[in-house]
Structure 1
Amino acid sequence: MDTAEIRRRFVAHFERDGHTPVPSASLLLDDPNLLFVNAGMVPFKPYFLGQETPPYTRAASVQKCVRTPDIEDVGKTSRHGTFFEMCGNFSFGDYFKEHAIELAWDLVTKSQADGGWGFDEAKLYPSVYVDDAEAVALWRKITGLPDDRIARLGKKENYWSMGVPGPGGPCSEILIDRGPAYGADGDFSAEDRYLEFWNLVFMQDELSAVRSKEDFDIAGSLPKKNIDTGMGLERVAFLTQGVDNMYEIDVMFPVIQMAEQLSGRRYGANHDDDVRFRVVADHVRSSMMLIADGVTPGNEARGYVLRRLLRRAVRSMRLLGYEDPALPELMPISRDKMGETYTQLHQDWERISTVAYAEEHAFRQTLRAGTSIFDLATTEVKQAGGSQLSGDKAFALHDTYGFPIDITLEMAAEQGLSVDEEGFRRLMNEQRQRAKDDARAKKGQHRDASAYREVADSMGRPVEFTGYETTTDEGSVRGIVAGGGVVASAGPGDEVEIVLDRTPFYAEGGGQLADQGVIELANGARLEVYDVQSPVTGLIVHKARVLDGEVAAGLAAHAAVDLERRRSISRAHTATHMVHKAFREALGETATQAGSENAPGRFRFDFSATGAVPASVMADVEARVNDVVLDDLAVQAEIMTQKEAVASGAMALFGEKYGDQVRVVSVGDWARELCGGTHAGSSGKLGVIKLLGESSIGSGVRRVEALVGSDAYRFLAREHVLVNQLSETLKVRPEQLPERVHDIVEKLRAAEKEIEKVRVGQLLAAGGELAAGAAKVGPVNVVAHRADGAGGGDVRTLALDVRGRLPQDEPGVVVIIGAADGKVAVVAALNDEAQARGLSANDLVRAVGPLVGGKGGGKADVAQGGGTDASRIDEALAVVTTEVGKVGA
């Protein structure tokens, strides 16, 4: 049974039982504790935490997930993978343990001919939490299994929590016995022998303190008991397909087969190579799915994870002996298999492949650069008579230059060197610990939404947003939140969060800043609204200061949005859509929006791009959007299903959460996107759009800053005044300014070159006088000179020139110390005769360096250094004579 069929049967099984099929959420969700969705229940967390009311009582999903803490173990076991799909069924206060067990057991054991998965009951073992007698009785009743087939396990294995105070509960797992080849009989800790593939969480407890996975307090029972199950799709796939691990299932093994062809090596012949083949299969798929959901390679957070996955895949192919670009050969294989379910992989392939292949190209360049740095490091080790590359050198290669440790090990062995792996691992562990400490510091940042939930529940329906049609409206105060709790009233000077039953105020979201304005109550109280947010679904909260009077629930309210601010922001939002469309026309479908901010009169637009945008493209995009402004196209919004929106050609943005019904905003028939923001009535109302420039904000992401409307007009007016001033000063017409400025710059450069020639000539002219005035210290000609105003380059030039003028058949020493811009430069230059007498430029610089607040060094013939204390230059020059006298006499 192929993976797609396993997935289909899972969803159909629960849909027949009244579960609402919920599509997979994006891998990227707004959660302070998570880089990626790492479990099937994550999109449902607001329901389990009581932050939001679920729109259904039972649901089923097949959720995309990524877990990366065990990335180093990928390929070494049958269990560790980065990207995986988690099948789950959920009950929100509906059915509980008995029905959850019935549903799972039925699907698992029903024959394939009858729509089940057809597992052999004789090989299945339920596990329960050791203190959950109720679950034991239910497993016996439903399955008919004897008592010795039900494993009792402790908190570590069979009690679930999120690691923070909140819901928790015992769980039951369905294990399959894979036989004596994988471990001892009855040893349930041998995970390869008794492999868990489905976990049923019975969410029944309220945890008041969670100190660790096995150390927590149970405050009481939850008011509503919930079910959260998780079934690993890949595990069921390899168990039903008769293969040994997840890497060999139908959607992954074709990548290994292609890697075999490319490398000439055979899967199954060598353990180390097998691990590399599996890493390739896993990381190619994981990287592709992350890019599909909007992640781009970078040096931080999500971008760093993606970069690491891509580079590990490329590196593994290199270790398999394949050194040509690998991703263009491998990733299309993964696309074709995963694209059977995730059709957007085909639709968005140009962007996905461009990002992936560009990162491989960059990594190949990194390998070349890292090889040069590695060569220098090994040369230093050998010159020092060593045989081991230090751990800090290996760590610097890895951390600073992106050079993988296994390649360092491989290349060091080729050079006859070992690597201090223990030191490297220690530094890596220290880095990981810092990351864990940082993550732990962020742990528990779940927003306390109890006050908002209380207000929302008391209303019984969502706040009605009327801001698309009007900027003023009448409503009533339905709740007041202050200090984290619901309050009855507030007075002048108080900072409060006001909830109205209906409001024209737009809550920040989708890149659009919140509205501001005023709320006036029936009793004369006035509030200044400075921010608007939606902390839980269906609730719009006005953050405000009470200016006058007393605010109380139940009072009628008149809400008035700052009209000019709203119009200005709306123009910016419409301009963002237009610029997005124009960039996709100019650069191709890969130029997909990666973020935005729509503020009054200005906007910021981030998009995917492999390099800087040429000035000609920027000019073309600006001209294109301003042509659309002149066309005065109507801006319209329509409500439709997601399927209808996609069919209409509407763009959806990565990481955004959309419901079944979506709002599609169109600028004529030209630009069309899913969007919940406010917009201008037509493109003509934008007036003018001015792109200020573009820049990089990370690998593969560019940022455009722009102005729109009156802000753009004022900017252009200032530029016009500036151009006129320059034209008047330079006595040319505006269109002649570029040529005139170019001529002036060229003349300045030529003049600077002439000045430099004169300055160097003057400097060298002094060399003759210095050489002629050399002092005799025994047989040695010594020039020790102070050159005020001379920097490092000048000092070196002068020192070498003077040395060349001294008699070459006599020992000669030249030390010049210059001072310029608060810095001291020291250069010592010796001829061959001076070196033959045992004098060294390196020793002289080291002797005088501390006196001028610095240090330096070099070779016996020429050395240089620097410092910061010019007050002791004369003292330092006197030391030169003393040092020469000690050796040269």
Structure 2
Amino acid sequence: MRTADIRTRFLDFFAARGHTVVPGAPLPTPDPTLLFVNAGMVPFKPYLTGEQAPPWPRATSVQKCVRTLDIEEVGKTTRHASFFQMNGNFSFGDYFKEEAVAFAWDLSTRPVADGGYGLDPDRIWVTVHHSDTEARAVWRRVADLPDARIVDRGDEDNFWSMGVPGPCGPCSELYYDRGPALGREGGPAVDEDRYMEFWNLVFMQYERGEGPGKTGYPVLGELPRRNIDTGMGLERMATLLQGVDNLYETDETRPVLDRAAELAGVRYGAAPEPDIRLRVVADHVRTALMLLSDGVTPGNEGRGYVLRRIVRRAVRAMRQLGYQDPALPELLPVARDLMAPGYPEVATDYERIADRAYGEEDAFRATLRQGTTVLDAAVAKVRADGGLVLPGDRAFLLHDTYGFPVDLTLEMAAEQGVEVDREGFTALMNAQRERARADARARKSGGTADTTALRALLDAHGPTDWRAWETLTTESRVLGLIGRDGPVAAAREGEIVTAVLDRSPFYAESGGQESDAGRISGASAEAEVLDVRRPLPGLVTHQLRITAGELAAGDPVVAAVDPEWRLGARQAHSGTHVLHAALREILGPTALQSGSYNRPGHLRLDFPWRGALSTAVRGEIEEAANRALRRDLPVGVRWMTLPEAKELGALALFGETYGEKVRVVEIGGAWSRELCGGTHVEHASQIGTVALTAESSVGAGMRRLEAAIGVEGFGYLARERDLVSRIAEQLGAPKAELPERIAGLLDRLKATDQENARLKARATAVRAAELAAGAVEADGTGVVTTTATVDGSPDEARALALAVRDRLPAGRPGAVAVATGTGGLVLALNRPAVEAGLHASALVKRLLSGRGGGSAELAQGGGVPRDRIAGLLAELPGLLTRD
């Protein structure tokens, strides 16, 4: 049975039993504790924890998941994968153990012809928590399982919690006996390779208290409403139903592995090391495809770094297998065709996905060439010095300067028998991160409020009545104030606090739009709004600086957005939509926004594109954007379901998470149609103007456009006009002729520079010949020496020193010292002088009291007072006798 059929059967089975089929969420998650969805229950977490009311009593989904904690184990075992899919059915206070067990048993054992999976009931084992006599009784009653195949296990295996206070409960897991060829008899407690887990039923019935992690905490009592969270591993079930040994051999993975083996000229199953690398490739190519499909972009932080690491591990594994050509153009289309039946977007968006993937591979291949050379040299030096540890600063240099991931450094160094000083590397990385954090703190006044205190306010008062789409002013009440060390009763003039209001008109930073500015006024206090955030679902917080009086919890206040700020923010956000649509109109649908930022008067927009945009193309994009403004396209907002929005063709921005109902912003109808929660103008003409100010690279295959908007846009254009006018006036030329006139001037300057360089080289050669002819032997040394002073730069001094050195008598030791009028000193020795034991760097350090350095043949230093230059040059012959 193909994986796509397993997925469909699961959803159909539960839909027929009253479950709402909920589309799987994108892999990036808004949960601040997670980079990616790593379990099927993550999108349902607010309903399971009681933070939000569930919109349905029971639901079912197939959820994409990525787990990266085991990334080093991928390929080494056949049980670890970075990407997997979890089929789940959920009950929110509806059914409980009896029905959950019955559903799982029915679907697992129901004949294939009747829509089930057809597993042999006599080969299914289950585990229950040792205290859960109810679950044991349910299994005996529903499935007629004998006690011998119902195994008691402890907290580590069969009791679930999120690791923090909240819901918890016992689990029951289903295992399938794959036969004696795969391990020992005796059930899952004896061998979990032979007995493969394929389904886990979590019975959320208790509330846990504070405690150390996932065990050792108190259970406080029963939950007021019991929930069911189950997860059936799609790849696990495919392994069982397709009769293969492991998940790498299922129909959605094995073809990628086989194609990799074909390209590399190896056979899977022939040797352990190539097999590990082939499994790494098969897993990582599929994972990269799914991450790229959900809008993750390769980068150096967070999700982007995980994707970059996965792509690079796949590419390097192919190189280790002996395949040196670009691998992703051969492998990614195979993964696309395998995953498209379940996820059509990987095919419809493939041009964009491939462009980013191939660009990342190209960049890494260049990094690999350069970084490998540096790493090999560093390892060779370590071994030459008799060591076995690569210093942490060398690993950090590779990471920071050459973009060489530390995990790659660890792997490649280990292959050459050398360890890496990880503590030293980590210390340097931590210092760099702390500098970055300090920079971020410097840009933001005040800190982030205590999440525990905020959650308490949310639980006590409910979500913020948020009015940013409707008004600029609200009458509000201060629900709570939080300082740096926790909740405070009041804040006085000069203090910075986080305030929670019952009602707010302020837009909280999201979707690329910066938060609103404004003021909060009370009977005895005035405060400036510095920042607005949404730290918890439904809660809006305001970072305030008290400018007068005292603000206290419970005070009635007037919250007012700065109208000029909001106008500029609306112009910039609508301008971002307009520029995005213009970009796609000129470059095509693959130029899809992957990130944006807008504030009054300014916007930036990132998009995938390989190569810089020409001046002509930038002009076309700017013209298309301003044409929309001149046509005064209407701006409208509509609410609809996510499937309806996708059917309409609305663009969902990657990295954003959407609920059941979504807000669609249209500019000119279908011309620009995006899912968006920001604030916007009513008509495109209100944007004023869109003036492109910059276009640049922000990584491999990614470009950034920046623009000035509204009044700032007109001001930018006026400054550009004035600049052109001044240049035309200075050159005495019409504006239309400026490009040709400036090009002519540049050509003449280039020719002049070349002529000057020729004259300088000729003069240097003449002077070098004169100095070499006048060289004399230093008494008692046998070394021919000469000295000189130049008025030019250190580069000119170095060029003269080398030219003189090369003209000294052949076969005789020689030394040349050249000083600059600005206090620099260059010393050059020829090969016979070095062979005689002289060292240029040591001599310069003696002359300059430790300053300067270089090699044995050439060294330089600086900081010599002008009045001491002649004396230092005179000291050189005497030093030669003491070297």
TM-score, normalising length from structure 1? 0.85
The 1:406/1:302 distance shift into structure 2, 3 A limit, reads closer
**1:866 maps onto 2:863 in alignment:** no
Equivalent position amino acid for 2:782 in 1? V
**1:651 maps onto 2:651 in alignment:** yes
Alignment of 1:95-244 (within 5 A): 95-186=95-186, 188=189, 190-218=191-219, 222-244=223-245
The 1:601/1:683 distance shift into structure 2, 3 A limit, reads same
Q: What are the superposed Cα offsets for residues 525-579 of structure 1, whole Å, 9 maximum, x if unpaired? A: 8765554444444444555567679777696x76543322222111111111111
Q: What are the superposed Cα offsets for residues 261-304 of structure 1, whole Å, 9 maximum, x if unpaired? A: 43443333333333333222211111100100111223333222
Offset of 1:636 from its aligned partner?
1.6
Offset of 1:49 from its aligned partner?
4.4
Offset of 1:351 from its aligned partner?
0.2
Equivalent position amino acid for 1:796 in 2? R
Alignment of 1:314-325 (within 5 A): 314-325=315-326
Partner of 1:782: 784
Secondary structure class of the residue paired with 2:655: coil
Partner of 2:817: 816
The 1:230/1:222 distance shift into structure 2, 3 A limit, reads same
Equivalent position amino acid for 1:598 in 2? N
Partner of 2:267: 266
Offset of 1:172 from its aligned partner?
2.2
Partner of 2:799: 797
Alignment of 1:209-608 (within 5 A): 209-218=210-219, 222-369=223-370, 419-421=415-417, 423-424=419-420, 427=422, 448=451, 451=454, 455=458, 458=461, 466-472=467-473, 477=477, 479-480=479-480, 482=482, 495=497, 497-500=499-502, 504-518=505-519, 529-541=529-541, 560-608=560-608
Which whole-Å CA distance do the structure 1 matches of 2:498 and 2:409 have between them?
Answer: 58
Offset of 1:676 from its aligned partner?
1.9
Given that 1:771 and 1:783 are in contact with CA atoms closer than 8 Å, whether structure 2 keeps it comes out as no
Partner of 2:441: none
Secondary structure class of the residue paired with 2:698: strand
Offset of 1:498 from its aligned partner?
4.4
Offset of 1:520 from its aligned partner?
6.5
Offset of 1:251 from its aligned partner?
1.7
The 1:886/1:552 distance shift into structure 2, 3 A limit, reads closer
Partner of 2:442: none
Secondary structure class of the residue paired with 2:366: helix
Which whole-Å CA distance do the structure 2 matches of 1:9 and 1:63 have between them?
Answer: 15
Offset of 1:405 from its aligned partner?
11
Offset of 1:84 from its aligned partner?
0.6
The 1:10/1:664 distance shift into structure 2, 3 A limit, reads same
Q: What are the superposed Cα offsets for residues 53-100 of structure 1, whole Å, 9 maximum, x if unpaired? A: 433343322111111222232233231111111122333344444443
Partner of 1:631: 631
Q: What are the superposed Cα offsets for residues 234-284 of structure 1, whole Å, 9 maximum, x if unpaired? A: 101111221111112122222233334434433333333333332222111
Equivalent position amino acid for 2:7 in 1? R
Q: What are the superposed Cα offsets for residues 385-412 of structure 1, whole Å, 9 maximum, x if unpaired? A: 9999979899689857577999999999
The 1:662/1:453 distance shift into structure 2, 3 A limit, reads farther
Q: Identity percentage over the alignment?
A: 45
The 1:866/1:520 distance shift into structure 2, 3 A limit, reads closer
**1:846 maps onto 2:849 in alignment:** no
Which whole-Å CA distance do the structure 2 matches of 1:339 and 1:453 have between them?
Answer: 44
Which whole-Å CA distance do the structure 1 matches of 2:261 and 2:275 have between them?
Answer: 10
Offset of 1:216 from its aligned partner?
4.1
Which whole-Å CA distance do the structure 2 matches of 1:655 and 1:242 have between them?
Answer: 37
Which whole-Å CA distance do the structure 2 matches of 1:129 and 1:2 have between them?
Answer: 33
Given that 2:605 and 2:705 are in contact with CA atoms closer than 8 Å, whether structure 1 keeps it comes out as yes
Offset of 1:524 from its aligned partner?
9.2
Once the two structures are overlaid, the 10-residue window that deviates more, 333-342 or 142-151, is: 142-151
The 1:529/1:301 distance shift into structure 2, 3 A limit, reads closer
Which whole-Å CA distance do the structure 1 matches of 2:47 and 2:747 have between them?
Answer: 68
Given that 2:840 and 2:855 are in contact with CA atoms closer than 8 Å, whether structure 1 keeps it comes out as no
Which whole-Å CA distance do the structure 2 matches of 1:427 and 1:144 have between them?
Answer: 55
Partner of 2:444: none
Offset of 1:110 from its aligned partner?
2.8
Secondary structure class of the residue paired with 1:211: coil
Unaligned segments of structure 2, at least 5 residues: 438-447
Once the two structures are overlaid, the 10-residue window that deviates more, 571-580 or 48-57, is: 48-57
Q: What are the superposed Cα offsets for residues 20-49 of structure 1, whole Å, 9 maximum, x if unpaired? A: 322111111123332211111222333444
Partner of 1:46: 46
The 1:159/1:825 distance shift into structure 2, 3 A limit, reads farther
Q: What are the superposed Cα offsets for residues 755-776 of structure 1, whole Å, 9 maximum, x if unpaired? A: 5555556655554257426354
Which whole-Å CA distance do the structure 2 matches of 1:162 and 1:312 have between them?
Answer: 31
The 1:159/1:288 distance shift into structure 2, 3 A limit, reads same
Partner of 2:679: 678
Offset of 1:202 from its aligned partner?
3.0
RMSD over aligned CA atoms reads: 4.2
Equivalent position amino acid for 2:593 in 1? Q
Equivalent position amino acid for 1:192 in 2? D
Secondary structure class of the residue paired with 2:75: coil
Once the two structures are overlaid, the 10-residue window that deviates more, 758-767 or 847-856, is: 758-767
Equivalent position amino acid for 2:39 in 1? A
The 1:303/1:864 distance shift into structure 2, 3 A limit, reads same
Equivalent position amino acid for 1:12 in 2? D
Equivalent position amino acid for 2:804 in 1? V
Once the two structures are overlaid, the 10-residue window that deviates more, 874-883 or 220-229, is: 874-883
Which whole-Å CA distance do the structure 1 matches of 2:167 and 2:276 have between them?
Answer: 38
TM-score, normalising length from structure 2? 0.86
Which whole-Å CA distance do the structure 1 matches of 2:597 and 2:422 have between them?
Answer: 39
Partner of 2:667: 667
Offset of 1:870 from its aligned partner?
2.8
Secondary structure class of the residue paired with 1:363: helix
Secondary structure class of the residue paired with 2:171: strand
Which whole-Å CA distance do the structure 1 matches of 2:527 and 2:389 have between them?
Answer: 67
The 1:812/1:9 distance shift into structure 2, 3 A limit, reads closer
Secondary structure class of the residue paired with 1:302: helix
Equivalent position amino acid for 1:777 in 2? D
Partner of 1:60: 60
Given that 2:393 and 2:425 are in contact with CA atoms closer than 8 Å, whether structure 1 keeps it comes out as no
Equivalent position amino acid for 1:591 in 2? A
Secondary structure class of the residue paired with 1:282: helix
Once the two structures are overlaid, the 10-residue window that deviates more, 682-691 or 354-363, is: 354-363
Alignment of 1:668-707 (within 5 A): 668-669=668-669, 670-707=671-708
Secondary structure class of the residue paired with 2:299: coil
Secondary structure class of the residue paired with 2:139: helix
Unaligned segments of structure 1, at least 5 residues: 413-417
Aligned length: 862
Secondary structure class of the residue paired with 2:204: strand
